[in-house]
Structure formats: C-alpha cells, structure tokens
Amino acid sequence: MNTEVQIIEWAIMEYGQWQFYTAKTEKGLCYIGSPGKTFEELKAWIHKRFPDARLIENEDALKPYINEICEYLEGNRQSFSINIDIKGTPFQEEIWAALKEIPYGKTCSYSDIAKFIQRPAAVRAVGTAIGANPVLITVPCHRVIGKNGAITGYRGGIAMKQYLLQLETQRGSTNSY
C-alpha cells in the first residue's frame, strides 16, 4: 500500500502593513490567511483539510502566487492566472465559483449570490460559505456587500475589504452585477 504524504508548501507574504500566510499544494494555491494570523492557525487549517499533509516552508514555490497577489494589490492586475486548489462542500464550491463570476470593480449582495445559484432562500448559507473561502483576494469574496450597500464582515477584516473595494473602484467601475 502506497501512503505517500502530501506536501503543502507555505510562505509569508508581506504587503504594506499586512502579513499573510500563503500555502499551495502541487495543484495550486490552497490558502491565504487573514492578515496578522499566526503560523499555528495555518497549521490548524491545513491539518483540518489535509490531515496527512506535511508543511514545508518554500518561498520560491510561492513566489509566482505572491507576485500575482501583490500585482493585484498594487492595482496592476485585475484577474489571476495562478492555479487554485480549494476544496469544500459542494455548496461551498458552488458559492466560490459564483464569486469568481463577479467582475472586477463590481459588487453584489449575499442575496444576489443566492439568486445567482437559484437558491434565493439560502442567503445565510451563502454568507457562511463565503466566510469559509480559503483564498482571500483570488476568490473575490470582498466584492460581496450587504443588500443596503453596507460593508459587511470579511475574514481579512473590514479595513482590508474597504481597501480592496476602493482599489477596484479606482481601477474599474463599481456597480452591482
């Protein structure tokens, strides 16, 4: 029986006042932590989703991912070409796919997402799935705002969400989709 251990490589990404732990599998980016979170939180997240994985620090392996994220944060990129390897429940994956459909510079509400997936009564479940998005920025959960236009919760923090929305407003046109 072959019990090959999965390797997950990680590195710290720094941008301005923010520091994020990032991680990738052989298939692509699997994790972008919230600013200020600890290595222990990265380990716990990885262990929960990849129980047999071994974490190895490898800045070179994460460099292409970090470079694209930094380009985005600098306003020099509107979409990502990096591979992403995220796993969740079928419902979460459906929500994360819907988030990728929100164009750069546009916003929508949680109820818009629920309607988009043809489950208009699932607004709370949509919010929960959005909150479980493991790759901030690259799967643009920051583009989801309250129905009344309010900036609502974000795993990266409200200040970061406001920064991302303002960045996209300056580079694109912010309208509902």
Cα-trace Rg, the chain:
16
Residues paired with residue 109 on neighbouring β-strands, in sequence order: 145
Point out the catalytic residue in the list 30, 70, 108, 141: 141
- 82, 65 in Cβ contact below 8 A? yes
Distance between CA atoms of residues 22 and 87, nearest Å? 16
The DSSP 8-state label assigned to residue 107 in this structure reads B
Residues paired with residue 144 on neighbouring β-strands, in sequence order: 108
34-42 long-range contacts, CB within 8 A, separation 24+: 34/136, 34/155, 34/156, 34/157, 35/156, 35/157, 35/160, 42/10
Is 141 considered catalytic here? yes
Helix ranges, the chain (H): 39-49, 59-73, 90-99, 110-116, 123-131, 158-171
Residues with a known catalytic role: 141
